[in-house]
């Protein structure tokens, strides 16, 4: 036990006499009681002694610490060696009270103390009571005039002042020489440290002289000045951002709005590498990178800027963004006066692993806001990975249309000549249709078959949607991403005769030949036209197996991209394992569909359609599927969805990682079996889909899609066998769930 000072003996005697906390004395007068004239252990140098803990663990002796720097990166500003720091040992969600020993309010009747955290003033507060009274005393704070009964952390602003200990002075002089005690209350049950649902406390003391009062108030003023929020906005607003590229080597002219994601050491040199040898491709000498801790969340904004006309009533902004694959990580443009969001921009150019943290340049048209004031906000609401953080650089404003077109041309030339082998193909894809640029270019280009059609097929007599065939058209555009092109059927001919007012969604196909005239327009109404040819017969029978269901051609032969953007040249992989843990994919044969290579952006989605097949045999099909967002859909040839299967064995529980034998299922595929016998004899096709979801692991993997079993497959004892860490591991076949 620590050696205590003489005042401890006095306090102990007072406890024996029933005066502790003003609760239990039967005496009607305090005249004979000798109270200490200072607060017992007000700086917690003797642990929790001198304070009584109540409630549900909200105050704990193990929270007494000597930390110089607090968990959120703020300096503690402690006095002496020790102080009370809530949430360091006990959980932030714990609640309770901390009550001082009784003492006589001597000196000037002022109490000085240091407080931090305690974000919610309705649940975290400090009160002062006269001994044997349940009515909190009134007081004023920090030379103010308003009388209150609760002291709260009114200095907390969530950014520059959070957990650090700020000096406060409480004026209780109306109760001079009265015996009182202090009660600290924490009723906040929030569980995250960033909620600051706890108290930091230190240096409770009675002030005896005018000099002590002055020193305390000067200390407070100095602290508030030191941690004041910087006024980053110029009046009038700037027309060129003063630190849009972080070339000051820090975040000058940027302001943290909330959280901790954008605090601390987030500025890196553009010459640094990530993953040991990968290049960021930043601009200038510095960039911003928050990947040091993907669990942190927060927001940070730029200074405000005026949007000016850069010619022909046009004005553009640009920025570079890397990482940020999680849907909860993005950039917004906001109105300067109201904060209203006028645009949200996610990193749809993300490609893993090619340009995972490397920077992609985006251009945004802000012509509609000429004459207004805007600012950028960087948002990270993802409390984890993968890629739940961002790299950013080179924010520019007030660009002309010529600036944008020159910039696009430069980006494309740069990508073509890039010596970064790991990233080159992805950058070429991104800057040539993978993302959109907000300027008018050439008309879209429709890829035609050898016969000169945008798409052609033979099918049976049926009622179907003609619009579904639009998904089979392959289109390239110089500035507009394929997914944003508008496709329409403008007319229909049957055996050469125009069809009047065709019902495109419920069209009856008869024997003969149909020509569908189609139009494809970009965002600027640049148009391309072509025709789709449909040959219709009474009955058409297809192969019982889809083409290249196991991807063993090493490419996407037999598959057509019908939604989203897919890197068709890279989508098929021969990898056996992934990551440094060498986790098996559980592929069949040499090749499989690798969602990481097909589309690096986890926030994006896509779909690929198989060839048509006639369902035979037992009516069962099977397939391998991995990733959280993977889905396999079955349609009849008219386009009616019959079944939709998802990867219900996906499991990202970190406690199981990386062992498949324990149930970890990330990119590792599971073989599923589906019973489609109700559709025997029907002509069907399959779509493999990467759904757009808000969770992590929004990636899809497929392999070994079999559409024919001669007899019923009894798979109750079947399993795939993989080798992990030299051990043979069985992955059982599963009956797939249709939802």
177-209 confidence digits (pLDDT tens): 999 999 999 999 998 888 999 999 999 999 999
Comparing 188-192, 406-410, 660-664, the range with the smallest average pLDDT is 188-192
Specify whether 487 is located in the same domain as 575.
no
pLDDT digit string, tens, across residues 224-244: 999 988 889 999 999 999 999
Lookup: tokens for 250: 């820090």
At residue 90 the predicted structure's pLDDT band, cuts being 50, 70 and 90, is confident
Is the pLDDT at 452 greater than 60, yes or no? Answer: yes
Q: Give me the CATH number covering residue 564.
A: 2.60.120
Tell me which residue range forms the domain holding 277.
Answer: 254-434
Q: What is the DSSP string of 163-188?
A: SS-EEEEEE-GGGTT-EEEEEEEE--
Residue 665 CA, chain-centre distance (Å), reads 22
Asked, for residue 365, whether it belongs to a domain, the answer is yes
Specify whether 45 is located in the same domain as 101.
yes
Lookup: tokens for 697: 């692991």
Is the pLDDT at 681 greater than 60, yes or no? Answer: yes
Which residues, other chains included, contact 321 with Cβ-Cβ below 8 Å and sequence gap of 6+? 331, 345, 347, 349, 359, 360, 362, 390, 391, 392
pLDDT digit string, tens, across residues 311-323: 999 999 999 999 9
Asked, for residue 454, whether it belongs to a domain, the answer is yes
The whole-number average pLDDT for the span 94-115 is 97
pLDDT of residue 29: 52
> Burial level of 717, CB count in 10 A (0-12/13-18/19+)?
exposed
Specify whether 164 is located in the same domain as 60.
yes
Instruction: Report CA torsion sign: 330, 334, 338, 342.
Output: negative
Comparing 279-283, 459-463, 641-645, the range with the smallest average pLDDT is 459-463
At residue 11 the predicted structure's pLDDT band, cuts being 50, 70 and 90, is very low
Is the pLDDT at 631 greater than 80, yes or no? Answer: yes
Lookup: tokens for 47: 């642990």
Is the pLDDT at 620 greater than 80, yes or no? Answer: yes
Comparing 388-397, 425-434, 485-494, 531-540, the range with the smallest average pLDDT is 425-434
Asked, for residue 243, whether it belongs to a domain, the answer is no
Specify whether 59 is located in the same domain as 173.
yes
Specify whether 152 is located in the same domain as 190.
yes
pLDDT of residue 23: 40
The whole-number average pLDDT for the span 8-33 is 45
Specify whether 530 is located in the same domain as 663.
no
Is the pLDDT at 1 greater than 80, yes or no? Answer: no
Lookup: tokens for 422: 């790991």
Is the pLDDT at 30 greater than 70, yes or no? Answer: no
**C-alpha span between 282 and 343 (Å, rounded):** 24
Count of CA atoms in the C-beta half-sphere (13 A) of 669: 26
pLDDT digit string, tens, across residues 147-165: 999 999 999 998 889 999 9
Asked, for residue 529, whether it belongs to a domain, the answer is yes
Is the pLDDT at 25 greater than 90, yes or no? Answer: no
Listed residue (310, 436, 294) closest to 364, CA to CA = 436
Asked, for residue 61, whether it belongs to a domain, the answer is yes
The whole-number average pLDDT for the span 337-362 is 92
Listed residue (675, 676, 662, 661) closest to 720, CA to CA = 661
Q: What percent of the chain has pLDDT over 90?
A: 80
pLDDT digit string, tens, across residues 37-64: 999 999 999 999 999 999 877 898 999 9
pLDDT of residue 6: 41
Listed residue (554, 586, 584) closest to 570, CA to CA = 554
Specify whether 179 is located in the same domain as 288.
no
The phi, psi pair for 686, rounded to 5°, reads -120, 145
**C-alpha span between 190 and 91 (Å, rounded):** 9
Is the pLDDT at 21 greater than 50, yes or no? Answer: no
Q: Are strands 64-65 and 51-56 parallel, antiparallel or unpaired?
A: unpaired
pLDDT of residue 31: 59
Residue with tokens 């004023």: 140
Asked, for residue 99, whether it belongs to a domain, the answer is yes
Which comes out higher in pLDDT, residue 433 or 735? 735
Which residue, 412, 434, 456, sits at the end of a domain? 434
Lookup: tokens for 113: 């103390």
* Number of Cβ atoms within 10 Å of the Cβ of 728: 9
**C-alpha span between 359 and 394 (Å, rounded):** 10
Specify whether 134 is located in the same domain as 23.
yes
Asked, for residue 501, whether it belongs to a domain, the answer is yes
Q: Give me the CATH number covering residue 94.
A: 2.60.120.200
pLDDT of residue 600: 67
For the question of whether the overall pTM of this predicted structure is more than 0.75, the answer is: no
**C-alpha span between 57 and 518 (Å, rounded):** 70
pLDDT of residue 5: 39
The whole-number average pLDDT for the span 401-422 is 96
At residue 247 the predicted structure's pLDDT band, cuts being 50, 70 and 90, is very high
Specify whether 164 is located in the same domain as 78.
yes
Lookup: tokens for 232: 């980053």
Listed residue (719, 705, 671, 684) closest to 552, CA to CA = 705
pLDDT of residue 409: 96
DSSP assigned state of 587 = -
Which residues, other chains included, contact 646 with Cβ-Cβ below 8 Å and sequence gap of 6+? 630, 631, 737, 739
DSSP assigned state of 430 = I
pLDDT of residue 24: 34
pLDDT of residue 327: 85
Lookup: tokens for 98: 């901390």
Listed residue (595, 526, 530, 524) closest to 565, CA to CA = 595
Helices (H) and strands (E) in the chain, counts: 5, 50
Specify whether 45 is located in the same domain as 175.
yes
Q: State the total domains in the chain.
A: 4
Listed residue (321, 521, 352, 350) closest to 430, CA to CA = 350
Q: Give me the CATH number covering residue 525.
A: 2.60.40.10
Decide if 623 contacts 588 (C-beta within 8 A): no
**C-alpha span between 257 and 267 (Å, rounded):** 18
Residue with tokens 């993978």: 434
Which residues, other chains included, contact 323 with Cβ-Cβ below 8 Å and sequence gap of 6+? 291, 329, 347, 350, 356, 357, 387, 389, 390, 391
**C-alpha span between 159 and 255 (Å, rounded):** 9
Specify whether 430 is located in the same domain as 450.
no
Asked, for residue 235, whether it belongs to a domain, the answer is no
Lookup: tokens for 369: 């806001």
Is the pLDDT at 14 greater than 50, yes or no? Answer: no
pLDDT of residue 384: 83
Which residue, 410, 434, 458, sits at the end of a domain? 434
Listed residue (683, 652, 655) closest to 668, CA to CA = 652
Mean pLDDT of the chain: 92
Specify whether 180 is located in the same domain as 303.
no
Is the pLDDT at 385 greater than 80, yes or no? Answer: no
Comparing 201-205, 464-468, 493-497, the range with the smallest average pLDDT is 464-468
């Amino acid at each position: 036990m620590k050696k205590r000072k003489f005042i401890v003996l006095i306090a102990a005697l007072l406890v024996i006499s029933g005066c502790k906390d003003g609760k239990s004395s039967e005496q009607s007068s305090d005249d004979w009681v000798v109270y200490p004239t200072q607060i017992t252990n007000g700086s917690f140098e003797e642990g929790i002694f001198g304070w009584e803990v109540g409630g549900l663990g909200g105050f704990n002796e193990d929270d007494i610490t000597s930390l110089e720097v607090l968990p959120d990166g703020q300096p503690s500003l402690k006095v002496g060696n020790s102080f009370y720091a809530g949430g360091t040992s006990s959980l932030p969600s714990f609640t309770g009270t901390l009550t001082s020993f009784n003492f006589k309010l001597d000196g000037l009747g002022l109490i000085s103390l240091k407080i931090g955290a305690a974000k919610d003033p309705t649940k975290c507060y400090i009160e002062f009571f006269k001994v044997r009274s349940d009515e909190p005393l009134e007081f004023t704070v920090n030379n103010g005039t308003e009388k209150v009964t609760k002291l709260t952390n009114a200095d907390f602003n969530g950014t520059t002042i959070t957990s650090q200990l700020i000096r406060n002075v409480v004026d209780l002089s109306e109760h001079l020489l009265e015996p009182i005690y202090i009660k600290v209350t924490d009723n906040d049950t929030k569980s995250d440290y960033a909620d600051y649902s706890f108290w930091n406390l230190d240096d409770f003391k009675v002030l005896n002289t005018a000099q002590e009062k002055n020193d305390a108030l000067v200390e407070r003023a100095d602290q508030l000045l030191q941690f004041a929020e910087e006024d980053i906005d110029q009046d009038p607003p700037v027309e060129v951002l003063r630190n849009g590229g972080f070339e000051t080597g820090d975040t000058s002219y940027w302001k943290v709005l909330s959280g901790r994601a954008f605090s601390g050491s987030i500025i890196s040199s553009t010459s640094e590498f990530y993953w040991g040898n990968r290049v960021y491709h930043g601009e200038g000498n510095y960039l911003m990178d928050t990947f040091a801790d993907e669990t942190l969340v927060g927001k940070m904004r730029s200074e405000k800027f005026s949007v000016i006309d850069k010619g022909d009533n046009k004005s553009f902004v640009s920025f570079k963004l890397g990482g940020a694959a999680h849907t909860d990580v993005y950039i917004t443009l906001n109105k300067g006066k109201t904060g209203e969001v006028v645009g949200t921009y996610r990193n749809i150019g993300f490609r893993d692993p090619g340009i995972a943290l490397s920077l992609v340049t985006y251009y945004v048209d802000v012509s509609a806001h000429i004459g207004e004031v805007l600012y950028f906000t960087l948002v990270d609401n993802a409390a984890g990975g993968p890629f739940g953080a961002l790299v950013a650089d080179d924010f520019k404003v007030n660009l002309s249309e010529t600036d944008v077109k020159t910039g696009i041309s430069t980006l494309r030339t740069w990508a073509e000549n890039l010596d970064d082998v790991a990233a080159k193909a992805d950058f070429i894809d991104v800057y040539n249709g993978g993302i959109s640029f907000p300027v008018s270019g050439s008309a879209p280009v429709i890829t035609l078959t050898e016969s000169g059609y945008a798409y052609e097929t033979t099918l049976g007599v049926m009622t179907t949607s003609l619009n579904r065939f639009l998904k089979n058209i392959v289109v390239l555009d110089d500035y507009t991403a394929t997914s944003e092109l508008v496709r329409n059927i403008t007319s229909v001919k049957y055996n050469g005769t125009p069809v009047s007012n065709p019902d495109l969604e419920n069209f009856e196909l008869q024997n003969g030949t149909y020509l569908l005239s189609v139009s494809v327009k970009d965002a600027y109404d640049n148009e391309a036209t072509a025709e789709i040819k449909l040959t219709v017969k009474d009955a058409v029978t297809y192969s019982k197996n889809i083409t290249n269901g196991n991807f063993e051609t090493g490419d996407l032969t037999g598959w057509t991209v019908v939604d989203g953007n897919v890197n068709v040249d890279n989508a098929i992989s021969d990898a056996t394992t992934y990551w440094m843990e060498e986790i098996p994919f559980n592929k069949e044969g040499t090749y499989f569909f690798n969602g990481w290579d097909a589309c690096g952006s986890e926030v994006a989605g896509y779909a690929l359609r198989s060839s048509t097949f006639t369902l035979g045999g037992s009516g069962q099909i099977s397939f391998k599927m991995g990733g959280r967002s993977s889905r396999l859909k079955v349609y009849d040839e008219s386009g009616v969805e019959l079944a939709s299967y998802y990867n219900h064995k996906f499991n990202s529980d970190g406690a199981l990682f990386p062992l498949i034998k324990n149930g970890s299922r990330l990119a590792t595929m599971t073989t599923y079996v589906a019973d489609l016998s109700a559709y025997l004899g029907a002509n069907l096709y399959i779509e493999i889909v990467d759904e757009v979801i808000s969770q992590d692991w929004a990636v899809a993997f497929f392999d070994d899609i079999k559409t024919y079993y001669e007899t019923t497959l009894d798979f109750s004892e079947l399993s795939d066998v993989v080798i992990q860490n030299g051990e043979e591991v069985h992955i059982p076949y599963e009956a797939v769930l249709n939802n």
